[in-house]
Structure formats: C-alpha cells, structure tokens
Amino acid sequence: MRGKRIVIGISGGIAAFKVASVVSQLSQRGADVRVIMTTSATQFITPLTLQTLSRNHVFIDTFDEKDPSVVSHIDLADHADLFVIAPATANVIGKVAHGIGDDMLTTTLLATTAPIVMCPAMNVHMYQNPLVQANMERLRKLKVQFIEPAEGQLACGYVGKGRLAEPEEIVEWIERFFTSNNHVKTLIGKKVLVTAGPTIEPLDPVRYFSNYSSGKMGFALAEAAALAGAEVTLISGPVSLPTPPQVRRIDIVQAEEMKEEVLQALPQMDVIIKSAAVADYRPQKIYHQKMKKVQEELTVILEKTPDIATEVGKRKLAHQLLVGFAAETQDVETYALGKLKKKGMDLIVANNVAEPGAGFGIDTNIVTVYDQEGVVKAFPKMSKKELAVELITLIGDRLHGK
C-alpha cells in the first residue's frame, strides 16, 4: 500500500463517520490519501477530522482552489491510482451514472481515468428501488466496481441490506485491488463456475441433514479466480460469508436447487470447480409438521441426492475443465482417484479432513491435486486464501495446456 494514491469521496449519509477509520487505516499503511467531501457529508463528519487523519487538505468546493499552480479537480483526478466512494448514496450513484458533475466530487469523478469503486449505503428500500439498481447496473457496465452493503440494523430503524461495508472490509478490498494489479491474469476472458458450502436437506420444519462445510475454500477460490481475470459465478449453500468482489453469487439451500443452477450455467462456462460439500443423502419423506419426541427410537429412510459432479462430467464439452474436491478421512488417494475417473473430472483436490489444519470450518487446508495419471502437486498446510491462488494458477496453466 505504500505510496499508492487513493482518492476517497465521501457523500452525505450517516455512514460517513465510518469512513474516518478507512482513511486512518490506509494512511497508516503508507497510502497517499486525498479526501473529497460533498457539502452534505460535512453535516455528518468534519473536514478537520479527515484532514488530520489523511494529513492532506480536504476538498469540498470546486471553486475553492488551494493551489494556484493546478486546477484542483483535474489534479485530483490525475492523482488517483484508485477512486473510492464511501458511502455512495443513491444520489451520488444516480448522478455519476448519468454523467452529472455539479459538485467537487462528481466533477472530479468525470475527469478521472482511475478505477472507481463504490460502497453503497442507504435505506433498504432505496437500495432495492429499481431505479437505483438500474443505475448501479449501468455503472457496472462502465467498469465501476462495487463493495456490496451489509445486512442488518440501519440508522433509519429498518433491518435489511443497506449498511455500509465495515471499514476493515473496505480496506481489505483495496489491498486486494492493488495485489490484483500484480496478479497473473491467467483466466482473462474465461468464465468460471464455483460451487461452495453445504447443502441442507430438510426432515421437518425444524430439523435437517447437512455437514460442517463453512464454504471458506469455495469462496476463496471464487475470489482468486476473479483476481485472475475470470468472470465468476458462485453457487453457494447456506454460509455466513460475504460475497467476494466482482463475483456473481447465487444462493441455494438443497442439492436439487444446486443441480438446477449448475446445469443451467454449465454451457457458458470454461471452468467448473465443484468445491461444495453436497449432502449425499436426503430424507425420503419430509414431514410438514414438527415430529414429536414420542418414541425411544426413530428410523429415517434416506435416499440419494442428485450427483451433480457426475451430471457435469457427462455433459461437459471438450474445452471445459472440471475440477472436483474430495474430503476423506482415510485412503485419500484411492478414493480421490476413483471419484475423479468415475465422474469424468480433469482434476481433483483431495484432503484428509481428520488431519489437523485440513478440516471443515477452519482457515487453513492441506491438499493434494490429482489428474488421470496420478499426483499433480501436493500443497503443505497454508491458508485457504493462499491455497486458492495456487490452485487457480494451476487450473489456469492446465486450461492453457501448460
């Protein structure tokens, strides 16, 4: 981050106060941070606060030229390696989407050639308004990126999606952005489908069959694929993880739903990564009322869920690469190779989930990658995010015939 030139535009929303932490963290990491505020933003946080944290003048008025040797909005526009709008209100999103420059912030945005990322924050109904969504989609087509708002209690009293992403999440996104500029773009122009997390198979309205998958490995792979330049679709079971930047996410619950989404997306994909822990069995009968505890023993008859990987293996085209995962507790290589050959996979990533540092729900993993001929590469214990980058690099090489 040292020496990176970041312009932060703060518009008039209650979440403006949280941006002080973003400015502070970026400055502490050595970034050169310049702040532009709308007049409305000054009602929520003072320019002096941002000036103190950034150690630079804060700009508000287009005509308040502090340095006669430059035109401020052009100088700031040229200065930026990255332009961050936080919070991005419905108003500023709408103005930028339609090329309106009526204050210092929007005028500078019109003049910049730097990448732009917006962090929306507003009332849930404003965020869901078709006009706001259309403006955001228009900006996406113009290569503006977004850090999605969170769900929760909003300042207006509503509960829903519209909270500004936490400062740590915004800073982490910015760090990833600059890392990605140095990232090998092995998947530019490619479409990647990643499945992640568990599936849930209901027994009655309060009970279900599932597994311990947290989705962390799959989400890390989706993020790494996006950093490698791919257009990524992530199909996920129920997990408590934020959507990686620049990733299209589809949420499902049951195996049947995942199958439908995967097969629908399959024809457009170049790479399919099946990292989800899909339940192998589901109750044959689902009870519509809660089952009462009246017997000493209970017998539940289970039936197989659809084998999504096998279906993909049968349907995949010659140019498509199918990558599977095998979570085992014994005879890992034997089971992994059997699964790879049976299901028509090109690569399979196997691990022993009983091994310390390689199980569900933790931040590390230990895996070995196999193809039809045997071991391709074994990876020692490392974070799932680091491993994801290694795996995506390997997949990119394999895709390009290396």
Residue 114 sits in a domain whose CATH number is 3.40.50.1950
Mean pLDDT of all residues belonging to the chain: 92
- Point out the annotated binding site for CTP: 280, 290, 325, 339, 343
Asked whether residue 186 is assigned to any structural domain, the reply reads no
Do 170 and 235 reside in the same domain of the chain? no
Annotated active-site residue in 70, 142, 155, 156: 156
Kindly give, in sequence order, each residue whose CB lies less than 8 Å from that of residue 75, ignoring residues fewer than 6 positions away.
67
What is the pLDDT at residue 180? 63
Do 57 and 204 reside in the same domain of the chain? no
What is the pLDDT at residue 373? 92
pLDDT in tens, 237-286: 999 998 988 899 999 999 999 999 999 999 999 999 999 999 999 999 99
What's the token pair of residue 327? 């979570």
The DSSP H or E segment spanning 94 is: helix 90-97
| 119 noted as active-site residue | no
Do 134 and 226 reside in the same domain of the chain? no
Do 240 and 163 reside in the same domain of the chain? no
Decide if 13 contacts 93 (C-beta within 8 A).
no
**Sequential DSSP letters for 322-365:** EEEEEEESS-HHHHHHHHHHHTT-SEEEEEETTSTTSSTTSSEE
Do 215 and 164 reside in the same domain of the chain? no
**Which of the listed residues 181, 211, 226 is the one where a domain comes to its end?**
181
Percentage above 90 pLDDT, the chain? 75
pLDDT in tens, 177-197: 887 655 556 788 899 999 999
Q: d(Cα 369, Cα 146) in Å, to the nearest integer?
A: 34
Which three-class secondary structure state does DSSP give residue 279? coil
Q: Give, in order, the Cα–Cα distances in Å from 16 to each of 36, 50, 159, 348.
A: 12, 11, 19, 46
- Point out the annotated binding site: 280, 290, 325, 339, 343
Do 236 and 108 reside in the same domain of the chain? no
Least confident of 100-114, 156-170, 263-277, 336-350: 156-170
Decide if 234 contacts 221 (C-beta within 8 A).
no
Decide if 314 contacts 262 (C-beta within 8 A).
no
Q: Which domain holds residue 91?
A: 5-181
**DSSP-derived secondary structure letter, 287:** -
What's the token pair of residue 104? 């210092």
What is the pLDDT at residue 271? 97
> pTM for the whole thing?
0.61
Nearest to 230 by CA among 258, 181, 271: 271
Residue 162 has pLDDT above 90, yes or no: no
Do 319 and 383 reside in the same domain of the chain? yes
List the alpha helices (DSSP H) in 249-331: 255-265, 308-315
> With 0-12 CB in 10 A as exposed, 13-18 as middle and 19+ as buried, what is 318?
exposed
Do 137 and 267 reside in the same domain of the chain? no
We report the CATH number of the domain holding residue 287 as 3.40.50.10300
| Average pLDDT rounded to a whole number, residues 110-128 | 93
Do 100 and 225 reside in the same domain of the chain? no
What is the pLDDT at residue 183? 53
What is the pLDDT at residue 65? 78
**Which of the listed residues 181, 214, 229 is the one where a domain comes to its end?**
181
Asked whether residue 264 is assigned to any structural domain, the reply reads yes
Decide if 92 contacts 108 (C-beta within 8 A).
no
Do 122 and 150 reside in the same domain of the chain? yes
